[in-house]
Structure 1
Amino acid sequence: MHVVVCGEALIDLIPDNSVPGTTQSSLWQAHSAGGPLNTAVALARLGLPAQFLGRLGGDGFGAQLRSHLAVNDVGLDLAVQTESEPTSLAIVSVDSTGQATYTFHLRGTANFNWAPQEFPELGADDWLHTGSLMAVVEPGRSALLDYLSTTPAGLSFDLNVRPTVQPDRRLYGELLDPFLKVLGERGGVVRASDEDLHWLDPSSGSSARRIAADLAATYGLELVVVTTGGEGAFAVGANREPVSVPGLPTAVADTVGAGDTFTAGFLKVWLEEKNLVGAMRSGCAAASIVCSRIGANPPDADEVAALLARA
């Protein structure tokens, strides 16, 4: 089985508060990032080889992203190298609790200008993980939807809602709708955070568990896995009893890459063992470790195993 992660690779610009800035200039750390890139790197560090299916910019940041993927043993055979298209940027703001918010600069960047011939043929034994910004930013969105509708590979999809990219909740839901239909038809896995669900459905007053259950029932989704911050995660499905696991406390440096790393920890065990509780515990452990670090710096398999053993 080949595991392929499709989507954006971008640069997170995170304030560097170690040196005081001035009114004229400030210092920022340029971190290799993007939800799919983070997940691919985390999978590789956990020992599940992954290919990155993304479009990399022709600038210096694009070279940084390619190097970051290569150093972490993520396959680049399927990556598309552009010449003149720039790399997408995300300006990251971190509050006093370590919670991160993002403002994106995406127009005309390499990530989304997909051509149909740039997508590879995958087999029924392969696994394709995608979602995030690619599901809501054109022209990449339409190209990705066509690809998911025809590939025979197994599918997982991360909602990873970004309101600063599309602030209209109704339109955001409409953009996600056809992807969720495909996932439901194909027995795929949907990953979301409780914040994602509450943002998409703010008026109902329902709990994240109720919203997830309604989502699973509406689309016939076999599995919806929802992270709830430090509290842990739960999973529901159209024909599945709910399952919950507790979180693993940590001193939070920031939450950058937490959901992406959870997804990798989950998929590592889910794809190898089909053990739902074990997969969710693995995801929570991986996310706990990455939250203790600055930026999306996911753990390796030994670190996750050690934390689970202590827990």
Structure 2
Amino acid sequence: MSPAVDLVTVGESMVSLRTGGPISAGGCLSMHVAGAESNVAVGTARLGQRVRWAGVVGSDPHGEFILRQLRGEGIDVRHREDAARSTGVMFLEQRTADVTRAYYYRSASAGSTLSCEDVDVALQGGARVLHLTGITAALSPKAREAVEYAAHRAKSEGTLVSLDVNYRSKLWSREEARAALAPLVPYASILIASDDELGLVAPDPDFAVSARNSSEEVLAAKQLLDAGVREVVVKRGAAGAGVHTADGRHEAPAVPVTSIDTVGAGDAFTAGYLSALLDGEDVAGRLRRGALAGAFAVSTAGDWEGLPRTGELALLGNHVAGSTQR
């Protein structure tokens, strides 16, 4: 019997209030759904996979908004409502054309109460892939325990575990992140990180600061492969992405586009990569689809609103800048 869904992800989704200028100057705010896990859920669902998202929201209009948006994307939502806590809120300020600043109001939020029981509900019926991020582990000791439990249970049931480091300095220090995330490495078949995050999960503490140097990246990736990780995926933004496997190193350039909004680009890449994996693509095909999904993200506004459906991937495959398809 095949699993109930292709991909399960668990984590906190928030309401994101965006402004095109300094918040202190006032002006209009637009309301969106934000959250690394739900970004990946939407991106993967749009690319044809059966996806489930699980998390906790407050019994408030913000939580209702999140659930409606995710269900509208065809995602199987397994949520719990916490009447005693509020749904998290984030303000995103486009301070300059090149700098966006995030302000979180998520302390003691409903999402931070994610529990092992919530994980049990999420994994009911099985899944081909479980996707986790370091963000959820940073929210509370209870959420960290839930992430550890999810990774352990999924691995024991033969589900492939994908772990995106997704370090957020406003949530915890690098030392705290390393203490929580490094123990998750043995459960992960796919480890995803930006080039400055590899040091947070590499077994050798000498890499705790960063692995941004190319030779350090190779050494850190080798350690992770030796620890049992099957694929070490390194995101480099405009410089493309790479994958380290036992068979060698694979590289792919970024797709050249006009950048409008980089928020959510890493999650879009991850959604493209995992959807291609689920479709049976080889590493080169996964990198290519990840790069295409990331290009859609940075060249459209919003965390996930501009992410492509399967039939749209070719729009940026061989596009001419500024062209109109007629």
TM-score scaled by length of structure 2: 0.84
Q: Displacement of 1:274 after TM fit?
A: 4.0
Aligned in 2, Cα 1:12/1:98: closer, same or farther, shift over 3 Å? farther
Aligned to 2:160: 154
**Inter-CA distance 31–145: structure 2 relative to 1 (3 Å threshold):** same
Deviations 1:9-58 (A, max 9, x none): 112222234xx9875x4432222110001111111111112011111222
Please state how far the C-alpha of 1:159 moved relative to its aligned partner.
0.9
Equivalent position amino acid for 2:91 in 1: I
2:217 to 209, 232, 246: 209
Per-residue displacement from partner, 1:121-152 (whole Å, max 9, x unpaired)?
44666321111311222221112212321232
Please tell me the residue identity of whatever aligns with 1:144.
V
Which residue number in structure 2 is paired with residue 301 of structure 1? 310
Other-structure match for 1:255: 262
Instruction: Name 2:233's counterpart in structure 1.
Output: 225
Residues 1:242 and 1:101: Cα distance change in structure 2 (over 3 Å): farther
Is the 2:225–2:232 Cα contact (8 Å) retained in structure 1? no
More displaced 10-residue stretch of structure 1: 242-251 or 110-119: 110-119
- Of the candidates 183, 197, 200, which is equivalent to residue 178 of structure 1? 183
Aligned residues: 301
Q: Deviations for 1:40-90, whole angstroms, at most 9, x for unmatched residues?
A: 1111111112011111222111111111101111111x2223333211122
Report SS of the residue matched to 2:312: helix
Q: Give the AA of the match of 2:181.
A: L
Q: Secondary structure at the match of 2:295?
A: helix
8 Å CA contact retained: 1:129, 1:157: yes
Q: Structure 1 pair 31/195, CA: closer, same or farther in 2 (3 Å)? A: farther
Residues in 2 aligned to 1:27 and 1:90: alpha-carbon distance in whole angstroms: 15
Separation in structure 1 between the aligned mates of residue 234 and residue 180 of structure 2, nearest angstrom: 20
The whole-number CA distance in structure 1 between the counterparts of 2:23 and 2:107 is 28
In structure 2, the gaps of 5 or more residues are 201-206, 321-326
Alignment partner, residue 133 of structure 2: 131
Task: Structure 1: give runs of 5+ residues left out of the alignment.
Answer: none
2:79 corresponds to 1:79: yes
Is 84-93 or 273-282 further displaced after alignment?
A: 84-93
Change (3 A) 1:21 1:38: closer
Name the CA distance, whole Å, in 2 between partners of 1:192 and 1:203.
11
Q: Match for residue 54 of structure 1? A: 55
Letter of the 1:13 counterpart: L
CA contact (8 A) 1:98 1:252 kept: no
Runs of 4+ in 1 over 6 A off after TM superposition: none
8 Å contact kept, 2:62–2:87 = yes
Deviation at 1:106, TM superposition (A): 2.0
2:174 partner letter: R
TM-score normalised by the chain length of structure 1: 0.87
Change (3 A) 1:64 1:49: same
Cα distance, 1:6 vs structure 2: 1.3
**Partners of 2:257 and 2:199 in 1: CA distance:** 24
Alpha-carbon contact 2:20-2:94 (below 8 Å) kept: no
